[in-house]
Amino acid sequence: MANYVDPEEFRKEILLSKERDELTARTVEMFMLMANEASKKLKYKNEEDRKDVIAFALMDLVKYWRSFNPDKSKYPFAYYTQIIKNGFAKGWKKLHPIRDIDKLSLSEENLYSL
């Protein structure tokens, strides 16, 4: 599935959503499809983790969708894909925080725990 979201249709839906100041149903469908497809590029030990990071990404999309500026870019797909990736990372960090004991610091002379 090379083009699971048509870039022109996506742009039109984003502009329509911005004009209405609310997400259209089609935009929400496209966001969900984008998040699901992007999640397939990552590996998860647990299927629930995949669903959870998708939920974090969708929350970020809903939170930040208005910040796309069509005057700066004609291509909202890349902008929203980055929001999805950032949402995955935030979600993963929340689900699996790095404990202080697991943190290491490297210096030129030695390796030691922080």
User: Quick check: helix, strand or coil at residue 99?
Assistant: coil
pLDDT digits (tens, 9 = 90+) for 56-99: 999 999 999 999 999 999 999 999 999 999 999 999 999 988 77
44 CB-near residues (< 8 Å, 6+ apart): 50
- By CB neighbour count within 10 A (0-12 exposed, 13-18 middle, 19+ buried), where does 84 fall? buried
pLDDT digits (tens, 9 = 90+) for 13-55: 999 999 999 999 999 999 999 999 999 998 888 899 999 999 9
Find tokens 């983790």 and name the residue. 49
